[in-house]
Amino acid sequence: MTQDPAQFSPPGSRKKSLAAPARLPLPLLPTLLALSLLAALLAARPAAAALSFEGPEGAVNSLIELDRTAIPAGRPDQLYVIVRLRAPQDVADGERPRPPLNLALVLDRSGSMESKGKMDYLKAAARDLIDRLAPGDRLAIVEYDDRITVAAPSAPVRDRAALKRVIDGLEPRGSTNLAGGLLAGLHSVAAHYDSEAVNRVLLLSDGLANVGLTTTPEIRNALLRGTTRRLPVTTLGLGLDYNEDLMQDVAEYTGGAYHYIESPHQMADVFARELSALMDTVAGDMRLEFRPGGAVSNVTVFGYPSHRQGATTVIPLPDLYAGQERTITLRLDVAGQGQGSVSLGQLDLAYRDVKAEQPVHTSQALSVLATTERAVLDTALNREAKVEATLAEVESRHQQALEKAQAGRWDEAQADMAATARELEDVNQDLDDARLSDKMEALKVEEQQVGAAAAAPASASSKMFMKRSKNRLYQAYQGERGGYVLSPGDSGPQVEDLQNALSAAGLYTGPADGVFSPDLENAVRTYQTNNGLDTDGRAGPQTLNSLGLY
């Protein structure tokens, strides 16, 4: 029996499908104009094929989708591959104990930490983190200004009082040798590396690296030479004066995570959430590889750093935590093919199942049908995958606009955002997808903010705009788009900020607990009605901007 090449389902796999509209495919050029033309041809909505494969015991659920299961024969085309990775929440709820932690806490004690009570908040957050660790965990504490001090060498967390005395002894002084502190933290973790543990450096800074290695290429080269293995670094940028591009780059390059801490009082919550995530780590040392077939001439990866090893595109991925989802989008340039099955290549996913303490590797061959049959082409497009591909392209253009703004080309950045929003609006007239509407609203709000920032580029409000926008884009690139919209059921510091803002407006009387409750939804609706905004109970870009939170 010959298997339909569009189904991609190996024996024993579970097949999932998502609703997809039928439409006459056009070449999917990497422009919103092409996507808009394609969307305009939508008609019926039959199901499109999708593939899912799972690691042992469901440690990581993986869903692979193509935006189309068939392409027109005889002409070049582009296809999008959407890879969704999810660690079920119940993976962390089993009988197996959580993995031990091997951490280095690398703390900025430079002179700028004296302002706004930063050091006091840092001490409280670090003390709380120490209380949350178990005796079987390891912790090193590194302090840095222009000098580097391993204040507490890596050791099991048995004497919490001694560790807290180290924290209490921190006082602001000196300049910022960020690279030196980072390398000392990496060496502390590497010296006690445990393949069965979660190994991680937590790096906090509130200022620019101005001593030692200071540029991104220098620090990246130092990371490459500094240890024999790739160790994830969680970077935490505090306030408005640190280099967010450097902190994001370190996190991405090492497979860690990046957090923007806007206000010192948020430190304890961010530390606690990061530690909780580390304790719930399900998959580590994650890597996605795509080996293209002969029909694929180019591979573009959205949102994640990647590199080539020969013809293979390698995408190192951050650790995955229980309940976390991650989306990776690839764009494939496909040469014109004759009719029949076209091999696109092979996708390999490898990771370490932290709780089962075993490596996992799974592979999937991808292919697509090239045909001239209109009936097949009309039912080939997957709507859900198309929405994700559109968002990936839009976010790439959004990033380019921010880079222009950062370079002082404010007018160009504003014009690019306006044009992207208009084109996205055209696409969404046919797709009518809430995620595209949210992104369009975000672009319109940020277009206005770019104009305001251009008038005073060195102001605190301009710096805040850039950091907030880059942070939202960083999250969105990885498939986490909650930074654009807060909805009922959400939780975290952004929700707490929303609660405080609506409380100050006299519309919310509940606790500032960071949980988007029905009472908070009612307060949002009231605020929206009072201020002439769309009343939907969700705090989207316009509502957040009106409250000074976007």
Buried b (16+ CB within 10 A) or exposed e, 367-403: bbbbbeeeeebbbbbbbbbbbbbbbbbbbbbbbebbe
**DSSP code of 49?**
P
**487-550 CATH pick, 3.30.1330.60, 1.10.101.10, 3.40.50.2300, 3.40.50.10860:** 1.10.101.10
First to last CA, the chain: 56
Query: 287: burial class by Cβ within 10 Å (0-12, 13-18, 19+)?
Result: middle
**Based on C-alpha coordinates, what's the Rg of the chain?**
24
**Strand boundaries in 17-147, DSSP class E:** 18-19, 47-48, 51-54, 61-66, 70-72, 77-86, 101-108, 138-144
Distance (Å, whole) CA 124 – CA 393: 42
Which CATH architecture describes the domain 18-92+304-381? Sandwich (2.60)
Bridge partners (DSSP) listed for residue 330: 81, 301
Q: Which helix (H) or strand (E) element contains residue 258?
A: strand 257-261
The whole-number pLDDT of residue 391 equals 94
The whole-number pLDDT of residue 455 equals 92
**Strand boundaries in 109-178, DSSP class E:** 138-144, 148-156
**DSSP code of 232?**
-
Distance (Å, whole) CA 377 – CA 202: 50
What is the per-residue pLDDT across 276-307, written as a single tens digit (0 to 9) for each? 999 999 999 999 999 999 999 999 999 899 99
Classify 172 as helix, strand or coil: coil
The whole-number pLDDT of residue 41 equals 44
What is the per-residue pLDDT across 419-457, written as a single tens digit (0 to 9) for each? 999 999 999 998 899 999 999 999 999 999 999 999 999
Question: Which pTM does this prediction carry?
Answer: 0.85
What is the per-residue pLDDT across 332-366, written as a single tens digit (0 to 9) for each? 999 999 999 999 999 999 999 988 888 999 999 99
Query: 460: burial class by Cβ within 10 Å (0-12, 13-18, 19+)?
Result: exposed
Q: In order along the chain (550 residues), what is the average pLDDT of each group of 10 residues?
A: 31 30 34 51 42 56 92 96 88 68 97 92 95 96 96 97 97 94 96 93 93 89 79 94 93 92 90 92 94 97 94 95 92 95 96 89 94 93 92 95 95 97 92 93 96 92 93 82 86 89 96 95 98 96 95
Tokens (6 digits) for 153? 């060498």
101-279 CATH: 3.40.50.410
The whole-number pLDDT of residue 35 equals 53
Q: How many helices (H) and strands (E) does the chain have?
A: 15, 20
Positive or negative torsion for Cα 488, 493, 496, 497: negative
The whole-number pLDDT of residue 481 equals 72
Residue 338: partners with Cβ closer than 8 Å, 6 or more residues away: 73, 74, 370
Classify 7 as helix, strand or coil: coil
What are the boundaries of each domain within the chain?
18-92+304-381, 101-279, 383-484, 487-550
Closest to 164 (Cα-Cα) out of 132, 136, 197, 192: 132
